[in-house]
Amino acid sequence: MMDDFAGERQRMVAAQLRGRGLRDERVLEAFEQVPRHLFVPERVRYEAYADMPLPIGHDQTISQPYIVALMISLLDLHGDECVLEVGTGSGYEAALLSRLTAEVHTVELVRDLGEKAGLLLQELHCENVHVHIGDGTLGWPESAPYGGIIASAAAPQVPPPLREQLAQEGRLVLPVAQEYEQYLKVISRSGNEYAERIITAVAFVPMRGKHGCD
């Protein structure tokens, strides 16, 4: 997908992703292709490929490219999974996932954001992405189980429905808020055992909803 921003996108991948040690070539290629500038408001478009999060309205943000890439890499997708995303926001992460796996279900609480993202994803022919409006802390049981689940808002604990909707050998990648800090966690399922790893400290907007910060 060539456009005026292709050069900036390549520099973003080289400096911010590859330069910080991310090596999954499929993930890097997706970042080279998805036009991040279309997912941010026009007034911040010139900063779309900068090394930082940007506002997308409704007090929400599109995460820094590196964090999105790190989280998607941790899902370790092979291409045949059904993936659940909690917090569609701009739709950027969903567009990346669309290139990396078979089917994507993404749930957004704020109707306006979800509807806008849905339209843009349609324009970009991300036909395997399904946007749903609702409380993503409940997961999306209709299409479970998921080979990967990714959340881009921080919950006070891992929402139980997300654990339950994980497929065998599936991975759940999400920020969890503990006291004053948030940590990125990976939870891997094997049978009914869940192994948990903490990756790094992060800063995300709060997850709302039943198992969120409300």
Interacting residues with ligand SAH (CB under 6 A): 60-63, 86-87, 89-90, 92-93, 107-110, 113, 135-137, 152-153, 205, 207-209, 212
How would you list the strands of the sheet with 166-178, edge to edge?
129-133, 103-108, 82-86, 146-151, 166-178, 181-190, 193-202
Measured CA distances, 27 to 36, 57, 79, 106, 113 (Å): 14, 27, 11, 19, 25
Nearest to 5 by CA among 38, 54, 51: 38
Counting beta carbons within 10 angstroms of the beta carbon of residue 101, is it exposed (0 to 12), middle (13 to 18) or buried (19 or more)? buried
In the complex, least distance from residue 59 CB atom to ligand SAH, rounded to whole angstroms: 8
Alpha carbon distance 116, 139 (integer Å):
21
102 in helix, strand or coil? coil
Could you tell me which residues are beta bridge partners of residue 84? 105, 149
In the complex, least distance from residue 63 CB atom to ligand SAH, rounded to whole angstroms: 6
Per the listing, tokens 């790094």 go with 200
How open is the CA angle 55-86-135, to the nearest 5 degrees? 100
Residue closer to ligand SAH by CB (options 47, 193) is 47
Residue closer to ligand SAH by CB (options 192, 200) is 200
In the complex, least distance from residue 156 CB atom to ligand SAH, rounded to whole angstroms: 12
Residue closer to ligand SAH by CB (options 60, 98) is 60
In the complex, least distance from residue 166 CB atom to ligand SAH, rounded to whole angstroms: 17
Residue closer to ligand SAH by CB (options 178, 190) is 178
63 flagged as catalytic: yes
Which residue among 63, 73, 90, 152 is the active-site one?
63
Residue closer to ligand SAH by CB (options 134, 145) is 134
In the complex, least distance from residue 70 CB atom to ligand SAH, rounded to whole angstroms: 13
- The structure tokens listed for 2 are 């060539």
How many residues appear in the chain?
A: 214
For the annotated catalytic residues, the residue numbers are 63
